[in-house]
A and B are shown apart, each in its own frame.
Chain A
Amino acid sequence: MSLLKRKRIITKAIGLAAVVLSAAVGAGASAEEAKTQYFPLATFRVGAYASSGIPVWAGEIDYFRYINEVEGGINGIKLVWDECETNWEVEKGVECYERVKAGKNGSPVPIFLPHGDPISKALTEKSVADKIPLVTIAYGRTEAIDGRVFPYSFPVVFSFWSEASSAVNFIAEKVGGKDKLKGLKIATVYHDSPYGKETQVPLAHLAKTYGFVDIQIPVPHPGNEQSAQWAKIRQLKPDWVFLRGWGVMTPVAIKTAAKVGFPVDHIIGGIWSGSEEDVRPAGAVAKGYLAITPFPAGANFEIHQKLKKHILDKGLSDLKDPKSFGSVYYNSGVDEAIVAVEAIRTAQAHFGVRPINGEEAQWGLEHLDLSEERLAEIGATGLQQPLKLSAKDHEGGGAGKVLQWDGEKWNVVSNGWVKSDRELLLPLIYERAAAYAREKGITPRDATN
């Protein structure tokens, strides 16, 4: 390469760097009064889990577009968003968070959705320093339910502890009451990671309370080989299997279960083992498989009619595959968007109709009241459970529906929302939050205001 040519390349590179620098610095600098609400999205469209992610953003973006196009924004404040790719990796997630946290064109960040259990954990403390609430629906730290210790973490709707408890309660529903749980063997086959281990404590506690036998069987990441685990299941002969997988682990588990002859309709998948993307690769043997979820599948909810009419039919949807409309992951995106929009709305009612910042959105979240009436107005009855948050309770709902796969689609088979034993588990959760506060030297907030 000639020197001249190299020089030109270097000049170009410096030019590019300058562009990037000014873009990054400019993000927080504009003083102009913003009329829009910035809402950055952390997404993972490449990497091992992209297939689960893509329908989620579609649900979210479609709902945001619906709010903008049909309702003219949240009380007239339109949402603007851009995406940042995380690959579902902590490092890239942190980079994204740092990139967007200052807001855009003077519009602050109200809420950050980390979309990834490890990312949410890495951001726990940073978000407190920056006063940006993290909303982690159906993942994240369970102890963060205690908002006195975790003011900016919101494991809204359905924590892992509630997931475990609801699954047990569904089994009780099936066998005819909680008193019949005594003596049953419930094996939890879990992804051997911090996420997978989250349910060990609540299940041990519930086993002691109700007298069932709690068996824990880990599956090493990624979970593409499980013959040993299911041979063990065949040996131990549990009555029910609670499957807490992630990614490829779920279809392999279903297939291997069929291989050893374990009845698939006695396997209850957890939240992240209960989507179309989890069962389709398993093929015909997945028929009858159960899953507990806070995001019931289906495209017949009222909000879906609206989305179809105003977004999908007008070609505005972010969905690539129309088959995914109303899928579990799509609906989870809609759910997330509803919670975010309603929290911003609540904050606007208190602070004024304008773009909301993180601190205000935190107030909005802690005063969020998604009542039956409000859900009916949104058109999300049956899709989203009613929930009411407070400083002492960042979860609110704590119930799931159980779905069954019929080979084509999911059908709800539980008796409405299956509630978890929150009153039984909450003291334990508060205890753990208090221990965290002690280790970190955090003085819990006063929860009265």
Chain B
Amino acid sequence: MSAIGTDAIEGFSAADNTAQATRDRLRVGAAVLLLAALFGIPLVANDYWLNAVLIPFLIMSLTALGLNLLMGYAGQASLGTGGFMSVGAYATYNLLLRLPELPLPVSLLLGGIISGLVGIVAGLPSLRIKGFYLVASTLATQFLLEWLFNQYGWFSNYSTSSSISAPRLAIFGHDLSNPTGRYFLTLATVVVVTVVATRLVRSQTGRTWMAIRDMDTAAAVIGIPVSAGKLKAFFVSSLVIGIAGALWAFAYLGTVDARSFNLDRSFQVMFAIIIGGMGSISGNYLGAAFMILLPILLDHLGGGLFGGAVDAGQLENLQKALFGALIVWFLIKEPRGLAALLSRAWTQLTSRVDR
């Protein structure tokens, strides 16, 4: 049995095909509306919302998507997420620096591919090690990569602080370095990757992954190429995470060093997919919202409600404890994550529309 088992994705019964079609149409409609809203946001949102809330939220969703492909679909848990993000960031930085003639999307994709290749190497132990020992072994990747970028100046072009700074972001001469530009770059990347990933998990590859996840020994017995499937999952996952890392560095922060991609980041992403829902695409967005938006919300609320009245340090500690408690509460209350919760709400809503 795989230790990191998840429940199958919420499926709709095909008993009533017309209702199913209606729901599908509604679903697409909702997605279009959501997209329109996301693209319309810069018209109303100020810098703060773009720079500090929406951009990190979108990138966190993308990172979660990457990890979810590996963990939620292929059943291989990893705590090397931060490491792969840093590979993507440093690789893209060096491509932009050393091959300036490449257009930005190509550099981003190549950076992702380099991260994916590192992912294959990091995934090799998964052919032999299973379950929780595998999780522990991915920590080696995390720490080794963090060390590598801190230690060798070449990766950061020998900058004094071994940090990398965003070169001028532009697509076909169009400057993207203002908040709106960076937001659109992020949003476009997230949309494209989400579409590709959704198709991928519904393809043969996706089914292979799920077979491996549900029981790899059994999958091997019936002739599914388990090893190739696992490595492919590591490649695709690290590729997506690498792109997200590059965006984190350049579209969000501007200047980073390897510490932005430390173990805490890996934990944060893992929280996002467990709370959002493993083996679910929409779960990534919900989980990322939980991890990025909730602390900010708590902070604003805390400041608004008790600012001045309660000691600032106590308030911060209280928020931390509360955030931890909320995480635990969600894990207990909603085993299949926010995605399952939303899915149930959606079914109830659409079933009413049908009538």
Contacts and interface: CB of A to CB of B under 8 A. Distances in A.
Contacts of B162: 194, 197
B256 A90 contact: yes
A104 to B, nearest CB: 12
B52 A98 contact: yes
B175 interface: no
Interface string B253-287: 11111011000000000000000000000000000
Given A20-B300, A85-B299, A198-B160, A193 B253 contact: no
A90 B313 contact: no
B157 interface: yes
Interface string B48-61: 11011100100000
B48 A432 contact: no
A118 B254 CA distance: 12
Interface of A: 3, 6, 16-17, 19-20, 23-25, 27-28, 43, 45-46, 50, 54, 57, 82-85, 90-91, 94-95, 98-99, 101-102, 118, 121-122, 124-126, 141-143, 192-195, 197-198, 201, 220, 320, 432, 439-441
B255 A28 contact: no
Contact of B253 (A23, A27, A94): A94
B317 A25 contact: no
22 contacts: A6-B345, A20-B300, A20-B301, A24-B48, A25-B46, A46-B317, A83-B303, A85-B312, A85-B319, A90-B253, A90-B256, A91-B253, A94-B51, A101-B47, A118-B259, A118-B260, A125-B166, A193-B150, A194-B162, A194-B163, A197-B162, A198-B161
Contacts of B150: 192-194
Interface of B: 46-49, 51-53, 56, 147, 150-151, 157, 160-163, 165-166, 168, 252-257, 259-260, 296-297, 299-301, 303-304, 307, 311-313, 316-317, 319-320, 345, 348
Given A85-B299, A440-B165, A99 B48 contact: yes
A198 to B, nearest CB: 7
A20 B345 CA distance: 25
B342 to A, nearest CB: 11
A194 B48 contact: no
Contacts of A50: 313
B46 A46 contact: no
Contacts of B313: 45-46, 50, 54, 320
B260 A98 contact: no
B160 A201 contact: yes
A19 B147 CA distance: 43
B307 A82 contact: yes
Contact of A432 (B151, B160, B317): B160
A85 B300 CA distance: 11
Given A46-B320, A85-B299, A85-B312, 20 more contacts: A19-B304, A23-B304, A43-B312, A45-B316, A82-B303, A82-B307, A90-B253, A94-B252, A94-B253, A95-B53, A95-B56, A95-B296, A99-B52, A118-B163, A121-B255, A125-B166, A142-B160, A194-B150, A194-B162, A198-B160
